[in-house]
Every structure is written in structure tokens, then in C-alpha cells.
Amino acid sequence: MALASGTRLGPYEVQSLLGAGGMGEVYLGRDLRLGRDVAIKVLPAGFATNPVALERFEREARVVSALTHPNVCTLFDIGVQDGTRFIVMEFLDGQTLKDIIGSQALPFPSVLQWGMQIASALEAAHDGGIIHRDIKPANIFITRRRIAKLLDFGLAKLEPPPSSSRADGGEALTVTELTMHGVPIGTVSYMSPEQAQGFPAAPASDLFSLGATLYEMATGCRAFPGVSTAEIFAGILGAAPIPPSRLNPAVPRGFDRVIGRLLEKSPEARYARVRELIAALEVFSNQASLPDMAVSASPASTPASPPRIQSIAVLPLAELTSDTSADYFADGLTEALITAVARLGGVRVISRTSSMSYKNTRKSVPLIAQELNVDAILEGSVLRFGERLRLTCHLVDPRSEGLVWSETFDRNLSDILSLHDDVTHSIASSVHARIRERSGSSVVPFRPILPEAYDSYLRGRYFWNKRTEPNLKKAIECFERALDFDPLYAPAYAGISDSYFYLGYSFGRMDPQDAMPRAKAAALRALELDDHLAEAHCSLGAVEATYDWDWVSAMSRYQRALALSPSLSTAHHIYSMILANCRRNEEAVLHARAALEADPLSLPINNVVGMMYFAARQYDAAIAAARKTVEMDPGFGLARSVLGAALEAKGLTEEAAEEYLTALVVGKHSAEECDAIRRAYEQRGISGLHQEDLAQSIRRWNGWHGHSFDIAALQAGTGHIADSLDWLERCCDARSGRVIGLNTGTPFARIAQYFDNLRSEPRFQAVLHRVHLPQ
């Protein structure tokens, strides 16, 4: 029976009932001595003789009195009046977090603010040897001043803090459990797996419950929903919740990793202490990454932490479908997973070219890891049956060849996009302790895609990766077919952009003034649909640099792409060339090296490393890099040209000539042309080689802008200044993307010069001004 208004409990006067629960009633009261409002929690008369209820009531008083923290409701007094037991606490004006959430997600700043406050209160409790055991929204109060207060320590468990062990071997303070061993303690929806199984709670149990609470704050949904206790327990013990960012696009991807770690099934896999959680949450509030947190532990009692995973290679998925013509699907899905895992953050991810070189390989995992310089390998298989797909993945530690993580995903093909994200989140939540933490950026929500659209897109990328003119045209057809099925599919527009770009740059003979506007329009449309698509930013940046000659905007595009996907090798690759052309050579070399780390077996990227060293006038480094590329593929003519140019710049003309001549042969120039250039070298030395190379180049010129630039370089190197300028102006008139080499050197043309002997010419300065490059 509720107490009447005006009832006196010692110096306190009851004014009105605020609320009631199973273990007590809470009243608004007045402290008549100090003239302040208080909250009075009363143990109902029916429980006064119940030893369990009495123990819980007194326990709450002892626990709260031991805590002095701004985010814990302050205890003022405890007493008994005419057989009525009561606790007096500060009066809080506001509402419970449960009432605030309702069924709506909270603004993410509020999730962070209140989450850190609750965590801070929990940290103080744990430091005092107190385990709450019932963290949930109903036990958290938010005041009108937006201060979170942790309530109801009635189920709290007191344990001696690590510093309180007694040297004399005497017993430390303990409290008898309220229930028998094996009986769960807490509220079902927020229980940790160990609590759900009736095992003793530990500080890690509170972290799990806090994770479930933060999940509900961020999404408006319970992490483990269900209509029965059995269904909820099944989820707690065996299911992984949908990542919060999938339910609420305003939630950063990195927050998913924090929640994933809190909701680990194994207590040891969660944060070691609350302070680590607070640091992880501060990352988002500060918008800057924090260094890894050091964990204090006794070496004798704590097993050594496994080595960190700093780099991953995604090997080609095995296609288990009997149709051998379906390789494009497995290859495309592999590429999509590479992109998705790269967005995981905190790890270097090997790019497609290097990964795909291991298709159908018999090499062992340790050998592949050694060749790619990675410390984790993701391998798997894909099986399609009708409109369903089964993807099986294994993350392997090459040092032990043991499984770090393994899972099978069964999906409808229309859910293919969310599958990529599910895989990366599953990896992240399973191996978070071994991956350097990064803050994630918010992403647009996934939308279903028709299987036919995705299938056509994968076919398009399959042809696009071949880089020949006929295959680039086939790729465009496939991307356009994907858009027929799904006109809002951004990656297909990015694919169209990339295909037209290469056709207009140098991998086809399409007029740049026709190809590049098409490429730009497609890239802009892709970004209009999905501004978080790193590849689309690269697509637009490439056109802005090579066609618009808007170097500032192009740099901004590549910076944005790398912010979205730090391991994207193509972004580092092209960005390095742009930087070098703007005479920022040191930065150019750094990005070329970053591209190589992400794609160590790519011939073009290995080659661009040599080119960037050449542009920086670091000839020894250029020679070493080019020789490495030649060793990878002796038939790669561009690397032979780079090596020859660097050797010539060092004065090693005999070796340079041999590389130039080999470049002609492997480049499939006619036998007559190669013989003529060799004879010229034998008769007149390196200058004769260049003169004959120039003559042969002019002879076979057919109006292609890329060839025009090579002729201009040979003209400049052989002293034909006016002729060189004529050819350069012709390149500008054609809007040739090859002018990206004006300030970087022209090893493509098999000559070691940088147009430096033209720099004093007003016409050359006019060319640089025309393409907006520094003098």
C-alpha cells in the first residue's frame, strides 16, 4: 500500500509516488532540515521479512554509499521508521533512458555523450570492486541537464578490487550470492552469455550489457529481440546483431566495431576494462584516432596477446558452380570483397591485381603471405544455386596456418551488397583485438540490387580489367545492361566512366574530346548516387587531371578517395603521377610506394615506382625499381623504357641502349624498325639511336595523340626545339591526357629528358600555362 502524502520518515516528508517496481517504491520527498527535494526508496512491508529482498535492499545502500561519482545517483541517508526501511537519494528531474528511446534511435551525439557518462560511472564501480549486473535503459536516468545517472545497484555484486588483497592471507570482503549458482541474474534482453548460462558475472558482463544498451540507443532496436526468454537467450548465445550502421545511416561504421567488441560471446574478447571502451568512444567525439590503449596485466597471469593483423590479402574465391564460364562471378565477388575489407580500417589490404595472380595457385598460405608481405589471408569459395548464394570464408594466420575466423553466409542474390558488409563486420567483430582501431565514416544505407544488375556489373569489370580496346567496349555494354536493370546503381556508372577514360587516354584510339566528357558525366552521376564510393572519386579525379587539367580539384578527389579507402592502390598510383607533374616529387614517391604496398605484384604499379624515382632525379632508386619490375616480367616494355632512361641519365649509355632496343622488340615493333634503330646505334651511338627512333616514330604516326606526345619528347631530346613545341601544341589541341608527363620525364618515349631544354622557351611556358602546370 502506497504511503500517503505527508507521511514522515525520520526528517523526511513524503510528497508523492514517483514510481514502483518489484523490489521497492520511490517517492518524491522533502528533507525538512535542509529544505531540498529528495527521492525516497522504500522497501514494501511485504518484503521486510524476506531475507533475499532485505539483502538486496541493504546491498544497494552499501554499494551506492561506496561510490562518489557524478554519473551515479548520490545516496544521502538510510533508515527505518516504524518498521519501514528506506533509502534517501538525490532527486533526479528527467526521465529514464528507456522512456527516451521508446522505439526511436537517438541522435548519435547523444549516444556518445550518455554512453561515455554511463561508462565512466561503470568504471568507478569496477574500480571499487562493484559489478552492477543489471545495466539496461530502465536503470539509466537522464536529467533535464542531459546528465546520465546509473541507478539500481540492487543486484550488484561486491568483489575485492585487485589492490585490496591482503598480504596476511586473511579473507577479503565478500557478499553471499542472492541466488543459487546456475540461476541467471539480471534482465533477460541485456544479459551477457555467461549470465544467461547461470555463470558468475564479472566486469566483462557489465560491458556486454552496456553494449546491448548502446546498441538500442543507436538503433531504437534491441540487439537480441525475441518474444520469449528462450528465443532471446538463443540470440545472446549464438547470434550476431545487425551492425548498427545498417539500421541507422547516421551511425559511423567504426561504431559498429565498438559494439561488436562489447557484444563478443567470450568475455575475454571484450574490452579488458571500461577505460578502453571510453577511449574508443572518445575517437568519435574528437573526430580523431587515439593511440592503442596499453593494458596493465601481470605477465604471469595473462597469456601473450596474439600478433596484430596489420595487412590482409583476399585470395581469389573458388567458384564451386559447375559452369566454368561463371568465373567472372567469383572474380568479381573477390574484387568486391577486397574493396569491402579495405573499408574495414586499421589494416592494409592487398589490391586486386596482386591477389588475382594467385588464382588456381598451388602455393601454400605461408608462401603467399611471404610474397605479399601480409600477416593474414582471407580465402573461400562461392556457390550459386538459383537465386541463392553461399559464400564460405576463412581468415588464416600464415604463421601458424590456424583459423582466425571462419563463417558461411547464405544469401539471396538481391542481398549481395549487404553480404560484403556482413563479411567485413564479422571479421572485425571476431578479430578486433588484433586489428588496429580506426574510426569509421558514416555510410549510406545498403539498398537491394537485382541479381541481373549485379551479374552484368561483374561481367563489366571482368572485361574492363583486360584493358584492351575491344574489351573496354564490351565492358561498357555490360555496365549499361546493369543500369537497364537498376538505373540507380552507382558502381555501374563508375565502371562506364573508367572504361571511357581508358579508351580516351591511351588504351584505345577514341578521341579524348569524345571519351572524356562521357567519362566525366558517368563519374558525376555515380557520385550523385553514392558520394561514399571511393572508386567514383578516382574516376572523376582522373578526368579532371588528364582532360580538364584541373589539378587542384583532381588532388582533392584522390584525397577523398583515400580517406574513404586508404588501401586503394589505384588512388595512390594516379595521385602520385599528379603530384609529380605538379613538381611535388617527394610526396609522389611516397604515394607510389603506398600503391606498391597495397598491390605488390602489379606491373604498372611497380613501374610507376620507378617512374616517380626518375621524376625525382633519384636515378639509382629508379634503376633498382625498374630492374625489379623487369625481373617480374622481362617482356614488360614500359619497364624497359624506364630502366633505359634512368641508365642514360646516369651516363650508362651502353646499358641504356640495350634496354631501349629490348623495349622495342617486346613492344612488338616491326623487325625492320628494330633493325634500323639498332644499326643507327652501332654507327652513331646513343644519339643515333634516338634520331632513328624519332624518324621511325614519325613514319608510323597515324594521328593518335598519345604517339604525338612521344614524338614531341624525342624531338626535344634530339635538339629539335621548334618541332617539339609543334608536337606539344598538337597534343594540347587534342586534349591529350599524356601531357601528365610534361614535368615528370618521358621514359615512355625511350629517352632520358624532361623537356628541361625547352623551359626557357616562351612557347613551352605557354604550354605549361595552358595546362595549368607550374613552371
Average pLDDT over residues 558-576: 89
> How far is the C-alpha of 717 from the C-alpha of 710, rounded, in Å?
11
Distance, C-alpha 158 to centroid of its chain: 40
Q: If residue 625 lies in a helix (H) or strand (E), which one and from where to where?
A: helix 619-632
Closest by Cα among 243, 252, 223, 220 to 235? 223
Q: If residue 26 lies in a helix (H) or strand (E), which one and from where to where?
A: strand 24-31
Q: What's the confidence (pLDDT) of residue 440?
A: 41
> How far is the C-alpha of 593 from the C-alpha of 588, rounded, in Å?
9
Average pLDDT over residues 394-405: 79
Closest by Cα among 193, 178, 183, 158 to 62? 158
Q: Say if residues 103 and 135 touch (Cβ distance below 8 Å).
A: no
Closest by Cα among 364, 385, 353 to 604? 353
Order of strands across the sheet that contains 12-21: 8-9, 12-21, 24-31, 36-43, 84-90, 75-81
Average pLDDT over residues 578-595: 92
Q: What's the confidence (pLDDT) of residue 361?
A: 76
710 is a catalytic site residue: no
Does residue 442 carry a pLDDT above 50?
A: no
DSSP 720: -
pTM: 0.56
CA-to-CA dists, residue 238 to 218, 263, 565, 659, angstroms: 22, 11, 32, 62
Q: Say if residues 89 and 63 touch (Cβ distance below 8 Å).
A: no
> How far is the C-alpha of 682 from the C-alpha of 315, rounded, in Å?
48
Q: What's the confidence (pLDDT) of residue 362?
A: 74
> How far is the C-alpha of 708 from the C-alpha of 369, rounded, in Å?
43
Q: Name the least confident of 94-108, 203-217, 629-643, 738-752.
A: 738-752
Most confident option among 107-111, 187-191, 433-437: 107-111
Q: What's the confidence (pLDDT) of residue 47?
A: 63
Average pLDDT over residues 173-191: 49
Average pLDDT over residues 205-218: 94
Would you state the CATH architecture of domain 311-419? 3-Layer(aba) Sandwich (3.40)
Q: What's the confidence (pLDDT) of residue 199?
A: 83
Q: Say if residues 522 and 493 touch (Cβ distance below 8 Å).
A: yes
Does residue 345 carry a pLDDT above 70?
A: no
Q: Where do we find the cell 594467385?
A: 358
Return the number of other C-beta atoms located less than 10 Å from residue 109's C-beta: 11
Average pLDDT over residues 736-765: 86
Q: Say if residues 86 and 9 touch (Cβ distance below 8 Å).
A: yes
CATH code that applies to domain 8-90: 3.30.200.20
> How far is the C-alpha of 244 from the C-alpha of 218, rounded, in Å?
7
Q: Name the least confident of 81-90, 445-454, 537-546, 654-663.
A: 445-454
Q: What's the confidence (pLDDT) of residue 302?
A: 37
pLDDT in tens, 6-50: 899 989 999 988 877 656 788 899 999 888 888 898 887 666 666
pLDDT in tens, 658-686: 999 999 998 889 999 999 999 999 999 99
Q: What's the confidence (pLDDT) of residue 211?
A: 96
Would you state the CATH architecture of domain 449-549? Alpha Horseshoe (1.25)
Q: What's the confidence (pLDDT) of residue 46?
A: 62
Does residue 373 carry a pLDDT above 80?
A: yes
* DSSP per-residue string spanning 64-77: HHT---TTBPPEEE
pLDDT band at 566 (very low <50, low <70, confident <90, very high): confident
Does residue 395 carry a pLDDT above 70?
A: yes
Does residue 387 carry a pLDDT above 90?
A: no
**Which three cell numbers mark 313?**
590479402
Does residue 773 carry a pLDDT above 80?
A: yes
Name 403's bridge partners: 396
Catalytic residue selected from 134, 375, 422, 486: 134
Q: In this prediction, what percent of the chain has a pLDDT beyond 90?
A: 38
Distance, C-alpha 460 to centroid of its chain: 25
Q: In this prediction, what percent of the chain has a pLDDT beyond 70?
A: 85
Write the class of the CATH domain 94-286: mainly alpha
Average pLDDT over residues 148-170: 57
Q: What's the confidence (pLDDT) of residue 320?
A: 73
Average pLDDT over residues 231-259: 84
Phi, psi of 288 (to 5 degrees): -155, 145
Q: Look over the chain and give the mean of its residue pLDDT values, rounded to a whole number.
A: 82
Does residue 236 carry a pLDDT above 60?
A: yes
Return the number of other C-beta atoms located less than 10 Å from residue 445's C-beta: 10
DSSP 309: B
Q: What's the confidence (pLDDT) of residue 310?
A: 81
pLDDT in tens, 673-727: 999 999 999 999 999 999 999 999 999 998 888 889 999 999 999 999 999 999 9
DSSP 344: T
> How far is the C-alpha of 125 from the C-alpha of 113, rounded, in Å?
19
Q: Say if residues 715 and 698 touch (Cβ distance below 8 Å).
A: no
> How far is the C-alpha of 258 from the C-alpha of 208, rounded, in Å?
11
Average pLDDT over residues 371-378: 87
Three-state secondary structure call for residue 359? coil
Q: Name the least confident of 182-196, 616-630, 637-651.
A: 182-196
Does residue 640 carry a pLDDT above 90?
A: yes
Q: Is 253 left (phi over 0), alpha (psi -120 to 50) or beta?
A: alpha
* Burial state string for 24-63 with b = 16 or more CB within 10 A and e = fewer than 16: bbbbbbbbeeeeeebbbbbbbeebeeeeebeebbebbbeb
Average pLDDT over residues 139-162: 75
